[in-house]
Structure 1
Amino acid sequence: MNHQDRSLPQTDLLTTIVDNAGVSRAKLLPADRVESVSKKGIGLSPAFATICVDDSIAVINDSSPVGDMRLVPDLEAAVPLTPHLSWAPADQLDQELSPMPTCQRSAARRLDEDARRNGYEYLMAFEYEFTVFKRDASGLRLGHDGPGYGLAAFLELEAFLLDLLHDLQYAGVKVEQIHPEYGKGQLELSVAPSSPVQAADTSVLVRLIARRVALQHNLMVSFSPITVSNGIGNGAHLHFSASTSKGNVFSNGDLPFNMSQSGAHMIAGLHENLASVTALLAPSVLSFDRLAPGMWSGAWACWGLENREAALRFIKGTTGYGDSSANCEVKIVDPAANPYLVVATVLALTQHGVINQVELKPPVVIDPSLVPVQDRLEKGIEQLPSSQQLGLEFLKANTVMREALGGPLVEAFVAVHAQEQEKFSALDKDTRIDLHLWKY
């Protein structure tokens, strides 16, 4: 998404934040209020730092009903949705207009600025998998019956897909491709890389536009990690690269696959912390139904060249695209994650790897589940947490992320998902699917 040289007409403005449950919260501002609110903000309770996916509030102190914060739309990131309506992400600021310690977007921006001061400029892009449902007199049914990547599936949803493409382009989103995915009713959408905060902004915008366009076609789309009990699940994989004055760290070195030493340290920093940040990247009780071996969701903490069962899939530069296409894909991310926390996590751990010169383990060249158990420790292969509860326990013990995000943000995040785990983990799978289907 390109915010440069974009002059917006005076329109009504929809502004959003994404909370720790991964839910986008919205306020609509009339056009004549936009300029004032962009300077002074509009009120929202700080308790939204601990609001859960079902709108219950996880209380972590006695002051949750007390106080106020200011939502300030970032008009530099604003884009048009229609000739009469624009959208902009908001920052969560205190009454003095300084970032709240629980503002995820501010945390991502701060970590990106730290990386730039260290000489690294990141590019990131999410891939969006989502499920389309058709509505008729009998209720909801899947939007296409396949085959995966099939022309027949595309033609069944052609009108929706063309309008989706055009509306995304109208909003300035640089779409690279849209196609029917492997699962029935499933689609995937890829966009061009941008700076970390812009990539997270685009994640919110893509979902907003996809749902708006779907409703215009009497369809509904779900970005839930699992949408049907026998389905393969939706991911929100994050691709990232970083450049220094010497070029892309993943393609300008003399290590295997042309990786530089800095690039190796980045992947190593992620690798050694993956188990303890799974809760940030795949946070819901449904996430762990998707995050299982054999699902191509990256359930193993390891890395490998084009290895889709590894949590970290390395992608070499492609002929014709030059060095710019070399990147690393974080496969475990799903749509329940707050995108600002996702990019913040990748920034924090890759910079941790560089600063501490973390040594990269050898790549895994086969399905990790086929590596003999006795060899996995030596190769740095471990299965990621199999439950939300375990993921949260690992996160609470991770000092790197606590230092990077700050104690208040980590504590609020853990409180939200601990309450969800207590309330929802014992429910049967179909009930958990119904609870989350339209939340993200």
Structure 2
Amino acid sequence: MSVTDSPVDALLESGLRMLITSIVDNAGITRAKTVPAARVRTAVRDGIGLSPVFALMCADDAITSSPLVNGPVGDNRLMPDLGAVAPLGPDHTVFWAPADQLTQDHEPVDICQRAALRRQEARAVAAGLDVKLGFELEFTVFTGDPGDPAVGTIGPAYGVLAMVKLEDFAVDLLEALDAAGVPAEQLHPEYAQGQVEVALPPATPLAAADQSQLARLVVHRVARAHGLLASFAPITVAGFVGNGAHIHFSASLDGVPFGGDDGPSEHARQLIAGVLDELDGLTGVLAPSVVSADRRVPGNWAGAFACWGEENREAALRYVPGSVTSRPDSANCEIKIGDPSGNAYLSAAAVLAAALTGLERKAVLPPGLDRDPATYPDDERPRRLPLTLEDALSALERSAVLRDALGDAIVDPFLAVRRHDAESLGGLSLEDRVRALRWRY
């Protein structure tokens, strides 16, 4: 039995009947290819064909253009990563694996977003860092017809009554996440009606991004089994607080922890400062939909202002010291600006690139804010992050740090896709933009 055969045999013996393998494209949408059990061995050996033009697919499924992608010409291979394979439920019949994009000669391709994150993770290891990321994912539960859905709960915000109403769904979801190897750290109703948050365990950067995609798929699958609809769109109901995809990051450096009783350590301050310096461009990566700016407003705890603060949920960067009983291991920095329309692999890669640049440059972290940024006088208030999608994309386009890290072959098609979305959907009313994206994510 070859090394390649061994994990495949284990999957088949466990009961696998179907393998879903997927990528996340530049529109933040998960695109998948599926093979039956009889073809898994071949798929793992040879890969599965995928046109490079998937890098140019937009939120409305239109295909835009970029000089760096040769339209319909060419072919890549999707290579399932069986190191991250997981069952989508306790019955172990349907499995999922993230895919790397390779050439037909099985060489890396420069448009692969997962490879971009792998490069930044290797850069962090080379710098002596032990980085951990954790995703908090918010989603909305609906009942009824997709064309005219109703929110699954009507509050109260964070209320136990909402949890009780979703109890059967929640229990099965926790069981399915456990079976998938992504045990939830928390699951609770959020502020908006029908809104739920699931917190995933910290992991190495690539594993954390994989976990975020796996958890989203599990949520959709369990919701469907309960006759519910789930949406990870940034805004699912116009006028409601939107869904975030918050990234918590921490890193020890040569054994020195990220923080302690006196706040962030020296290297943590440099890492946070690096992210702070790149917030405008990061907004273009982490919150790139035509409704993202509508979510990122003061009062929504969505990081509307370019600042940081200890336990400050209105700052774009929230330093979390953690409970006195869990320090220093629990110290981390939460990035509030992200939402689920971003590509988790690009989001994590961009955050790592900015943080590592701060470490390399020994960036200086300014004083943190100890109250709501909106309450400061005009001459002391921190600046707002980009108010429009185009402003955020232009900031990304100008960022040498992010462009160098992600590469032109990712950044330029990404900008083309997101600008197409802005042109095709941006002129619609908020209600129509929300409707257009509700079932994309």
TM-score by length of 2: 0.94
> Is contact 2:250-2:258 (8 Å) kept?
yes
> Is contact 1:53-1:439 (8 Å) kept?
yes
SS in structure 2 of the partner of residue 247 of structure 1? coil
SS in structure 1 of the partner of residue 387 of structure 2? coil
The aligned counterpart of 1:156 is 165
Fraction of identical pairs, as percent: 45
What CA distance in whole angstroms lies between the structure 1 residues aligned with 2:360 and 2:78? 34
What CA distance in whole angstroms lies between the structure 2 residues aligned with 1:278 and 1:137? 30
The aligned counterpart of 2:310 is 305
> Is contact 2:281-2:402 (8 Å) kept?
no
> Is contact 1:8-1:80 (8 Å) kept?
no
The aligned counterpart of 1:29 is 35
**CA shift at 1:166, angstroms?**
0.6
What CA distance in whole angstroms lies between the structure 1 residues aligned with 2:357 and 2:436? 37
What CA distance in whole angstroms lies between the structure 2 residues aligned with 1:142 and 1:406? 40
Out of 242-251 and 143-152, give the one that drifted further: 242-251
| Residue 53, structure 1, aligned to residue 54, structure 2 | no
What CA distance in whole angstroms lies between the structure 1 residues aligned with 2:309 and 2:275? 13
What CA distance in whole angstroms lies between the structure 1 residues aligned with 2:376 and 2:108? 46
Corresponding residue to 1:236 among 245, 249, 253: 245
Letter of the 1:323 partner, please give it: P
Corresponding residue to 1:117 among 112, 126, 146: 126
1:310-337 deviations in Å (ceiling 9; x for gaps): 0000000312223111000000010000
What CA distance in whole angstroms lies between the structure 2 residues aligned with 1:277 and 1:211? 27
The aligned counterpart of 1:287 is 292
Letter of the 1:69 partner, please give it: N
1:41-89 deviations in Å (ceiling 9; x for gaps): 1111100111101111111138211001110000010011232221100
| Residue 357, structure 1, aligned to residue 357, structure 2 | no
What CA distance in whole angstroms lies between the structure 1 residues aligned with 2:315 and 2:27? 26
The aligned counterpart of 2:114 is 105
The verdict on how the C-alpha distance between 1:138 and 1:211 changes in structure 2, with shifts beyond 3 A counting, is closer
> Is contact 2:253-2:267 (8 Å) kept?
no
**CA shift at 1:97, angstroms?**
1.3
The aligned counterpart of 1:77 is 84
The aligned counterpart of 1:267 is 272
Unaligned 5+ residue runs, structure 2? 1-6
Letter of the 2:426 partner, please give it: S
SS in structure 2 of the partner of residue 375 of structure 1? coil
The aligned counterpart of 2:176 is 167
SS in structure 2 of the partner of residue 384 of structure 1? coil
The verdict on how the C-alpha distance between 1:90 and 1:137 changes in structure 2, with shifts beyond 3 A counting, is closer
Question: What's the RMSD between the two structures over aligned residues?
Answer: 1.7
Out of 55-64 and 174-183, give the one that drifted further: 55-64
**CA shift at 1:136, angstroms?**
6.4
SS in structure 1 of the partner of residue 421 of structure 2? helix
> Is contact 2:251-2:258 (8 Å) kept?
yes
What CA distance in whole angstroms lies between the structure 2 residues aligned with 1:421 and 1:138? 23
Out of 411-420 and 24-33, give the one that drifted further: 24-33
1:1-27 deviations in Å (ceiling 9; x for gaps): xxxx99534522111100010000111
Letter of the 1:224 partner, please give it: A
The aligned counterpart of 1:393 is 394
TM-score by length of 1: 0.94
The aligned counterpart of 2:4 is none
**CA shift at 1:121, angstroms?**
1.3
SS in structure 1 of the partner of residue 279 of structure 2? helix
What CA distance in whole angstroms lies between the structure 1 residues aligned with 2:193 and 2:60? 27
Unaligned 5+ residue runs, structure 1? none
The aligned counterpart of 1:143 is 152
1:77-129 deviations in Å (ceiling 9; x for gaps): 00112322211000111122122111110100111011101100111111011
Corresponding residue to 2:351 among 334, 346, 370: 346
What CA distance in whole angstroms lies between the structure 2 residues aligned with 1:308 and 1:400? 26
> Is contact 1:300-1:309 (8 Å) kept?
yes
1:407-440 deviations in Å (ceiling 9; x for gaps): 1111011010011111111101111011100111
